Amino acid sequence: MVEPGKLAALLATATDVLDDVSEAFVDGHRADSAVRKHGNDFATEVDLAIERQVVAALTEQTGIGVHGEEFGGAPIDSELVWVLDPIDGTFNYAAGSPMAAILLGLLADGEPVAGLTWLPFVGNRYTALAGGPVRDNGTELPPLEHTTLADSIIGIQTFNIDSRGRFPGRYRAEVLANLSRVSSRVRMHGATGVDLAYVAAGILGGAISFGHHIWDHAAGVALVRAAGGIVTDLAGQHWTAESKSALAAAPGIHEQILALVAAAGSPEDY
């Protein structure tokens, strides 16, 4: 485990680094696609520029390697590694939506021990170290309380009903249908990191991610756990850097969502 004083110093350095790239993030709003990736995914020039700047600054100032979405980098199973998503919600960002963020997590032997999520367009700067508390712009947020699904807003990823893969579209639709029967307040923000940060902040009661990319999850998992929330995969197993999905929620809500996910059956049956 990393010594708490060192973790606090690393968080302070990372905060400065993300602040330094926030202006470029805002200035690049509605940026065009620069790199076409899998399917209809893409990266903007701003993604690439922010990743280069953050990687260079963190490497120089902390001596810890960085694994970024666009260029890869240090292995995820390193003793210490920063995990960066320079723009979470790239489609939102390119379209002009404010639901886009910079995500930065610190993994120690695969476990998230620090999380930073910047939402520059709406002014949120969420930070946390393992054990909490979560702060927004330096102001301590209250820990998550035990609550119910019926009284909560839940975030879920967007999807194509005809998509295949590990979690087919029709399976996702069934999970969504089950959620709607208990909580009609389901939201699709189109940015996994935003959903997870909002769970940590108590804005969302829970969030479901059908994705497996570590850069989408590292920062948010650290935030949710620091807030007293629970993060597993969709099978209810403790979330790790190798997990292929994520379910993050406040106490009380997590077990309710998990039961509704289980009621959808096996993804292989869809």
Is the C-alpha dihedral spanning 198, 201, 205, 211 positive or negative? positive
Residue 196: the pLDDT is 98
CATH number, domain containing residue 200: 3.40.190.80
Structure tokens at 239: 């979330």
Q: Please tell me whether residues 77 and 120 are part of one structural domain.
A: yes
**Minimal CA–CA distance to 207: which of 218, 222, 221?**
221
> Binding site annotation covers 162?
no
> Binding site annotation covers 88?
yes
φ, ψ for residue 31 (rounded to 5)? -65, 145
Domain boundary among the residues 140, 158, 186 is at 140
CATH number, domain containing residue 38: 3.30.540.10
Give residue 80's domain range: 4-140
> Binding site annotation covers 79?
no
Report in angstroms the alpha-carbon separations of 64 from 79, 93, 155. Answer: 9, 28, 32
**Minimal CA–CA distance to 207: which of 129, 149, 142, 124?**
149
Residue 94: the pLDDT is 82
DSSP state for residue 159 in the 8-state scheme: -
Domain boundary among the residues 87, 111, 140 is at 140
Q: Please tell me whether residues 182 and 205 are part of one structural domain.
A: yes
Q: Please tell me whether residues 110 and 218 are part of one structural domain.
A: no
Residue 31: the pLDDT is 56
> Binding site annotation covers 216?
yes
pTM for the full predicted model: 0.94
Residue 2: the pLDDT is 82
Please provide the size of the chain in residues.
270
Q: Please tell me whether residues 9 and 65 are part of one structural domain.
A: yes
Query: Tokens 């723009």 identify what position?
Result: 87
10-residue mean pLDDT profile of the chain (270 residues): values are: 89 98 86 45 70 96 94 92 95 89 97 97 97 97 95 95 94 96 94 98 98 97 98 97 97 97 96
Residue 44: the pLDDT is 65
> Binding site annotation covers 253?
no
Domain boundary among the residues 140, 160, 191 is at 140
Number of domains within the chain: 2
Structure tokens at 228: 């007293």
